[in-house]
Amino acid sequence: MASSEDLVVDLDSVGVVRTGSHLLHDLTWKVELDERWVVLGPNGAGKTTLLSIAAARLYPSTGTAHVLGERLGRTDVNELRTRIGIASAALAERIPGEERVVDVVMTASWGVVGRWRERYEAMDEVRARALLEQFGVAGLADRAYGTLSEGERKRVQIARALMTDPELLLLDEPAAGLDLGAREDLVGRLAELAYDPDAPALVLVTHHVEEIPPGFTHALLLRDGAVVAQGLIGDTVTGENLSKTFDVPLTLERAGSRFAARAA
């Protein structure tokens, strides 16, 4: 079955089974080009599994998954993966501590461009430094990555994920481990990205409604591998839906385009 061109992610009744457990169950989800999605859910809900499918790194056991119009399992995933940017703790762990920050960002494109190496290197470096500037860490470009704070590293990881000018950007818990100031700074920068009409489709995974950047348009709430609710953010991120998702009575406050939740 073909997927509409405007659909960046198109999952139809997707299930993922591993060693007898259902990690995802009958999940249907469609992400359009101009949408910015937040995926919320407790530990073990299946958020990272879902992101792995959207990243074309995991195929569903049942159902069909199209990413950027290509059906997983029937396409060259190496070519497809160059069109997807991802920032996650698992990828970050593989960055060598001694690597120069600008190289951490630049090397994201090296898998894509094999020819005219030297020419591309100069262009790559200009782009890498501009992305570091966009995330407020241009001053760290020549430092060793291992010397950066957690908040600085997160920003570098997102700059790296954007290096190939992806059509889809996946962010797995980008604010995890950040102090309040660093979180707010990152939320502000992600809001700028969300409001940028030229930015890729965005999917951000988090446990915390406080980390939802303004400008995000849609939400998917997951629990035990199944969808609790999905749709426009204002309709979906509600106290009732969050209580079902996290299995604890919660009240939700909304101030402008920011959310805060606490036990009811």
In the complex, the residues that contact ligand ATP under the rule CB under 6 A are 18-19, 21, 23, 41, 43-49, 207
CB of 15 to ligand ATP, least distance (A): 12
Contact 68, 81 (CB under 8 A): no
Residue bearing tokens 């703790």: 89
How many C-beta atoms surround the C-beta of residue 95 within 10 A? 18
Alpha carbon distance 262, 251 (integer Å): 6
- Cβ proximity to ligand ATP: between 51 and 106 the closer is 51
Q: What is the chain's Cα-based Rg?
A: 18
Phi, psi for 226 (deg, rounded to 5) = -125, 155
Alpha carbon distance 240, 100 (integer Å): 46
- Cβ proximity to ligand ATP: between 46 and 200 the closer is 46
- Cβ proximity to ligand ATP: between 19 and 78 the closer is 19
CB of 122 to ligand ATP, least distance (A): 39
CB of 224 to ligand ATP, least distance (A): 9
Distance of alpha carbon 264 from its chain centroid, rounded?
30
- Cβ proximity to ligand ATP: between 9 and 23 the closer is 23
CB of 50 to ligand ATP, least distance (A): 7
